[in-house]
Structure 1
Amino acid sequence: MQILRIDSATTGANSVSRVLTQAIADHLTAKHPEATLIERDLVSDPLPHIDSITTGAIRMPQDSHDEAMAAAFPAERAVLDEFLASDIVIVGAPMYNFTIPSQLKAWLDRLGVPGVTFTYKDGAPQGLAGGRRVIIASSRGGAYEIGGAAEHQETLLRDFFAFIGIPDLEFVRAEKIGFGPDIRDQAIADAKELIAQL
């Protein structure tokens, strides 16, 4: 079994999503001591935003790559292969300005690959990346209704992963963490209770 942990918060030791991803990883590796844990920190080791070269490397057939795309392909494909090799994926997803951090979006951009993680059949998208468990560690300074006017964080993640064949995400959520230290601590404690039930 392989467990992949993704962190994207830029707030270091003050990050609530990192507290949650650590707690989830600790819980799951205790339940599955045989598992290999892979950790990818998108802040200390960021993926660049995609450009014409990386887009071609990711999305175009290898036999149509130019020299630059061919050079970029191994590293780009390694990100996708790491995801596809994982049985459980833990994604630390704080809300930044009503959506996910841009470094997390750069990671998602490596996962949406036509013919590999999705295709179209009879005019409709069909996800190809099912068969793995995805747990989202969500942190928010306020409280937001899913799909509400200012909520583009969890909704984006639900839509993206459903598109590639993983419709049943599990969310561990800490909300209102900007409302003061006591509320923040309680939100983390409540989230950890949920983690103990995973």
Structure 2
Amino acid sequence: MLASIASRGTQQVWTVPMKLLHLDSSIQGDASASRRLSAAIVEQLRGSDASLEVRYRDLAAAPLPHITLPGLAREAAVSVLDEFLAADIIVIGAPMYNFGLPTQLKAWFDHILIAGKTFRYGEQGVEGLAGGKRVVVALSRGGIYAASSPMAANEHAEAHVRAMLGFIGITDLTFIVAEGVAFGEEVRAAAMEGALAEVKAIGVHAQAA
């Protein structure tokens, strides 16, 4: 949908609103740290650009099926991919469960990492086809997995997301991390306060393809 007309000298130019896809995957509902952060990120981005068109998908409330070869051609699977391809900005709420991603979120990635659609193999190797998008990930971790932590080698959520998005050509990637949220109310509150402060620095921008 065309949103407005901008003037450039004597010429009028149609401007098209950017599209934002908001995903949540935590099973914890209102108690979820990642949901609170992802909502704050979307609110911050909408404050920077009120014309943003936002589409929301709750992967925990309405899980996607695990992919099968016949299933990739079904209308529901095609719509998930089309929804991703149409988005300029993707905000992902990603809690870390058992050192990795929730299966609900992994299933979503399995629906968008499709050869010939978001990546392809060529003579020079893999080429990502989904560049030009911006992704902001709200990542929550119950423990401490920062690079300086003894548990850092067990962090397979952020690393996995970085690998999958990089594989399809997305380089404009921001992580807002709250960790230690299972270490009691005081630690959780401090972690959320720090993460929410980072959210306030986020603004809308478009990456050149």
Does 1:46 find its partner at 2:63? yes
Secondary structure at the residue paired with 2:154?
Answer: coil
Deviation string 1:101-144 (CA, Å, 9 cap, x unpaired) is 00000000011111110011224111000111000000000111
SS, match of residue 106 in structure 1: helix
Conserved? CA contact 1:162–1:168, under 8 Å: no
Deviations 1:26-59 (A, max 9, x none): 111111101111000001111011124214x2xx
Question: What residue in structure 2 maps to residue 161 of structure 1?
Answer: 165
Number of residues of Structure 1 aligned to a counterpart in Structure 2: 182
Q: Which residue of 2 aligns with 1:181?
A: 185
d(CA) in 2 for partners of 1:104, 1:139: 14
Aligned pairs (5 A) from 1:27-176:
27-55=44-72, 57=73, 72=74, 74-145=75-146, 148-176=152-180
Show structure 1 runs of 5+ residues with no match: 58-71
**Post-superposition offset of 1:145:** 3.6
Letter aligned with residue 50 of structure 1: I
What TM-score comes out, normalization by structure 2 length? 0.84
Provide the rounded CA distance (Å) in 2 between the counterparts of 1:35 and 1:50.
31
Which residue in 1 is equivalent to 2:14?
none
Q: Which residue of 2 aligns with 1:8?
A: 25
Q: Do the aligned partners of residues 163 and 50 (structure 1) sit closer, same or farther apart at CA in structure 2, a change above 3 Å counting?
A: same
Alpha-carbon spacing, 1:19–1:47, altered in 2? closer, same or farther (3 Å):
same
> SS in structure 1 opposite 2:63?
coil
Task: Work out which of the two has the higher radius of gyration on C-alpha atoms and give 1 or 2.
Answer: 2
1:191 aligns with 2:192: no
Residue deviations 1:161-183 (CA, integer Å, cap 9, x gap): 00000133100000100111011
The alignment-based identity, stated in percent, is 45
- Identify the structure with the greater helix proportion: 1
